[in-house]
Amino acid sequence: MKFAHVDGYVPFGAMATDPMEHGRQLFEELVAGKWGAITPFNEAEDAQAGA
């Protein structure tokens, strides 16, 4: 996720049972497609992005 006050991207996870309201809201928006398509997980790409 890209935050205005942080250089680069930081990992952020959200789930339907997230303890924080904003996490649950973001999860619902993502699943509904509000922010675009969810791409399949690609372990190689994910590892590369975290390097």
d(CA 22, CA 16): 11
- Please work out, in degrees rounded to the nearest 5, the angle formed at the alpha carbon of residue 25 by the alpha carbons of 31 and 41: 35
Q: What is the pTM of this model?
A: 0.62
pLDDT at 41: 80
> What would the pLDDT profile of 1-51 be if each residue is shown by its tens digit?
888 898 988 888 889 999 999 999 999 999 999 989 988 887 887 666 655
Q: With contact defined as beta carbons under 8 Å apart, do 28 and 20 qualify? A: no
pLDDT at 11: 82
pLDDT at 49: 64
